[in-house]
Structure 1
Amino acid sequence: MISSALRLTKIERIADGVAPRVLELCSGCGGMSLGLQTAGFQLVAHVESDQTAAASYSMNLAPSDGASEAWTAPRDMVACGPETLAADLNLGDPGEAFDILAAGLPCQAFARIGRSKLRSITGDDEAFRNDPRAQLYRRFLEYVETVQPVVILIENVPDILNFGGHNIPEEICETLDEMGYETRYTLLNAAFYGVPQLRERLFLVAVDRRLGYVPTFPAPSHAAELPSGYEGARTVALKYIPTHNSHFHPIPVAADGLPGAVSVKAALSDLPYISEHYRDPVTMRRRKVGDFLPYRSSASLPSYATQMRKWQGFGTGSQVDGHVVRLTPRDFAIFRRMPTGADYPTALKIAEEIFAEKLKAEQSRPRRGSIRYEEARRSCVPPYDPGKFPNKWWKLEPTSPSRTLTAHMGKDTYSHIHWDSRQQRTVSVREAARLQSFPDGFRFAGAMNAAFRQIGNAVPPLLALAVARHLKAELAAGAARAVLAGSRRRAA
């Protein structure tokens, strides 16, 4: 078979110690690619439809010989096939150009929160099934047929395991089995791999069967305690794991004696103190994502902060960018009074207290129900129903990892309110990037909302790095065995 010969050539190339070449689909701004590159993989091409995310990817991960316009252009993986991509980039035959095919397929149709949003927008209970993004994994498999990678890497939300009762990763694995791959998938939580965030994600790895091994996943480097909600979500996600012939790999467990999870305070405490949003809002309105401020001086820098400042190829000096925050003056006083770990129902009670104090201070109190009364109430009290939005607000716990960052941060960062009450604000772009483990030298194209969206959509680079290093070690050993076995067969 031609595909068999193509993959064998790639295996021999990897056995010679040449860096495996990566094509990533739905790359976003480059979180997974950054992990792969840091582990020693070569980034040859990527496909990303969002223009701003593609610009960020190019800004940070362009080839060392300079990024051509064709390399950095946004592309849609449905409209742009591997043949077109290879032709645009002068890569020749797409079946010969790539060793690794990776993808962080869009998760909106798979995630339960995304399904609810789709239903509310369309009025269709089955909207998540009909969303075109839910079918992109089939387009991905078409890429596999053409590219013939030696290794396949997919990241997605855990709910893809229970997509209306259908286990999509299991379907993908069964298809890849027929194409000559050994496949496994599991759930990894970023907090167990040095990311200051409780972010649970599915990872699927497939390798050419001639490499002679079944894929495994990296052991945790940190010990973390998962809140009960994460355990419950795991139970729902794992409901449709087959009892026989499953491709599911047991979730890696932290060994005894590992360091604890990186806390929010350890991740953010050296970043600039921000108060312009309430002291001098004109300055905050003028500030850009790319504007720099000096780090806070620190006699003892947390190891995580050092790692973010000195990441290979993304080191910084005395300054760092990304210090823009949302201007929401009604809520600054609420943020200040909220205890750490508090959510929206608590915030609403505080807002009502602030409103009552405001009325008490009035010389002439407005009559309940009057226009002046309602205006005064709106100036103090958020309008959201605590029954529908209990988790809409959340104040970071400084001694624990953060909750999951999502793409919704592009519209609303109230899910991550800074723990320092003196600053009375939500997190900045750079703080969100730190919580996602982007190094400080990683730049984001676009304005504040676009930067937040890119960060929330991304694979945490440190988690990607842990997966990539483990994958690379297994791949190198497997390629060496495969070449040696081939030599013995030819000699026999």
Structure 2
Amino acid sequence: MINVVDFFCGCGGTSAGLRQVGMNIVAGIDNDSDAGKTYAANFPDSTFLLKDIRNFSPSELGEFLVDLPGRLLFAACAPCQPFTKQHTQKKEGDARRELLDHFHKFVDELNPDYVLLENVPGLQRIARNEGPLARFLALLGTREYSFDLKVISSQDYGVPQMRKRLVLIASRLGAIAVPAPTHGVTQKKPHSTVWDWIGDLPAIRAGESDDTIPNHRASNLSELNKTRIQNTPVNGGRKDWPTDLTLRCHEGHSGHSDVYGRMAKDRPASALSTRCISLSNGRYGHPTQDRAISVREAARLQTFPDTFQFFGSMNSMARQIGNAVPVKLAEAMGRAVNDHLAKVSTSASSVTNG
């Protein structure tokens, strides 16, 4: 058995993926109360700790880990906004940049068997020699962990979304590697598409919901934006509109071409953000219906099952979903950890029997 503590757990994307491969989710830690309601409802056998990691001690967490049989895994996906492309030039004053440093003390003092870290690729580009990731890798070296660090594409692991992520897997039980892609042109399985995941959901209108599917609810649109989406072809965007519908801020501006765009049916979606149910904040228009994607459609594109329900306002649920680690990505990493433990356990047994 591998026992998991999910740091910065949010609504629980990582926990859901690791639970799917048979791990025991002991606790999730986050300071977002709305995400905590979602987490607690979906992980009733686990403990949600509404804590700011900066004011939480390893000894407090250790109380939840006493006498647990099996191995221990710490997962962490610290808030990634300070390390996105839009923030790479900002000064170091953002306190979220230091959250990974606060995670250090838990690894250092509680010595988990495995560590799983997920973030945006920008985390490794900022102050490579002395930034938060460099300091964390130095800690792993000091504590004699083996680790592998790679920038991967979520769509290569069955996620219907073009989302690049930085993934680190570490183990103090021996050499370990980030698993190879399972989907794509050179793999046995093709990339999942938007329509693979949302094509069977009941049709709804902007501002409406379908109560037969949890959280299948779409944001309302102004009459002008309804006209805009009606004038947007499949896989089209604002450049397809007649001139009288163009926003003044977009006149003569070629950037931000995804805003007000429709998703394509036959390919993965663009990366979902914390505003993934808003037509004006990305290519979040439904492929065929005149609205933005619903909360449930966004959740499916993050590979959450329909049994996983979200709580809070529409904006809060969108934020929880956009911040989540895609479930199938976490599942792939969890499977790699399971395989690694099985391998080292077999090796140890062979040595003992020999």
Q: 1:169: Cα distance to partner?
A: 3.7
Q: 1:478 deviation in Å?
A: 1.2
- Looking at structure 2, the residues matched to 147 and 138 of structure 1 have their Cα atoms a distance apart, in angstroms, of 15
Is residue 215 of structure 1 aligned with residue 176 of structure 2?
yes
1:271 aligns with 2:191: no
SS in 2 for 1:205: strand
CA gap of 1:428–1:410, structure 2 versus 1, over 3 A, is closer
Q: Look up the match of 2:293.
A: 427
Are the counterparts in 1 of residues 233 and 262 from structure 2 also a CA contact under 8 Å?
yes
1:292 aligns with 2:211: yes
Q: What is the match of residue 370 of structure 1?
A: none
What do residues 458-490 of structure 1 show as CA deviations (whole Å, max 9, x unaligned)? Answer: 0110111111111111122113424654x47xx
The whole-number CA distance in structure 2 between the counterparts of 1:473 and 1:97 is 15
Shift of 1:73: 4.2
**Aligned residue in 2 for 1:393:** 260
* Count of residue pairs the alignment pairs up: 350
- Conserved in 2, the CA contact under 8 Å of 1:407 and 1:453? yes
Counterparts of 2:147 and 2:298 in 1: how far apart (Å)? 33
SS in 2 for 1:399: coil
Give the corresponding residue for 1:337: 231
Alignment-derived partner of residue 231 in structure 1: none
Q: CA RMSD in A?
A: 2.5
Q: 1:414 Cα shift? A: 4.1
Contact persistence 2:11–2:324 (CA under 8 A): yes
Match among 80, 83, 102 for residue 56 of structure 2? 80
Quote how far apart the aligned CAs of 1:413 are: 4.9
Shift of 1:410: 6.7
Q: 1:75 to 1:351 in 2, by over 3 A?
A: farther
Task: Please list, as runs of the form range in 1=range in 2, the aligned pairs for 1:38-117 lying within 5 A after superposition.
Answer: 38-63=20-45, 71-87=47-63, 89=64, 91-92=65-66, 99-113=72-86, 115=87
Q: For 1:159 and 1:29, locate their aligned partners in 2 and report how far apart those are by CA, in whole Å.
A: 23
Q: Which residue of 2 aligns with 1:184?
A: 148
- Whether 2:336 is the aligned partner of 1:462: answer no
Deviation at 1:450, TM superposition (A): 0.8
1:416 aligns with 2:281: no
Instruction: Summarize the Cα distance change of 1:320–1:443 in structure 2 as closer, same or farther, 3 Å threshold.
Output: closer
Deviation, 1:26, is 0.2
Deviation at 1:156, TM superposition (A): 0.4
Q: Larger % of helix: which? A: 1
1:448/1:413 CA distance change after superposition, 3 Å: farther
Q: Could you tell me the percent identity over the aligned residues?
A: 29
Question: d(CA) in 1 for partners of 2:9 and 2:271?
Answer: 19
> Does structure 1 retain, via aligned residues, the 8 Å contact 2:193–2:265?
yes
Q: Taking structure 1 as reference, are residues 130 and 480 closer, same or farther at Cα in structure 2, changes over 3 Å only?
A: farther
Could you tell me how far 1:268 is from its partner in structure 2?
Answer: 1.1
Distance 1:194 1:81 in 2: 36
Q: TM-score, normalised by structure 1?
A: 0.66
Q: Which residue, out of 322, 344, 348, partners 1:478?
A: 344
- Corresponding position: 1:204 with 2:69: no
1:62 shift after superposition: 2.1
Kept in 1, the 8 Å contact 2:214–2:309? The answer is: no
Counterparts of 1:50 and 1:415, CA distance in 2 = 27
State the secondary structure of the residue aligned to 1:217: coil
User: Deviation at 1:400?
Assistant: 0.8
Structure of higher CA gyration radius: 1
CA distances 1:372-419 after superposition (whole Å, capped 9, x unpaired): xxxxxxxx5434333453333321111111000012337655431111
Shift of 1:35: 0.8
Q: Which runs of 5+ in 2 are unaligned?
A: none
In 2, the alpha carbon distance for the partners of 1:217 and 1:92 equals 29
Deviation, 1:322, is 2.4
Match of 2:310 among 434, 439, 444: 444
Report deviation, 1:93. 8.2
For normalisation by structure 2, the TM-score amounts to 0.90
Q: Structure 1: any 5+ residue segments left out of the alignment?
A: 1-18, 117-124, 225-253, 294-318, 356-379
Going from structure 1 to structure 2, the CA distance change for 1:428 and 1:351 (only over 3 Å counts) comes to farther
Q: Distance in 1 between matches of 2:60 and 2:268?
A: 43
Query: What letter matches 2:247 in structure 1?
Result: P
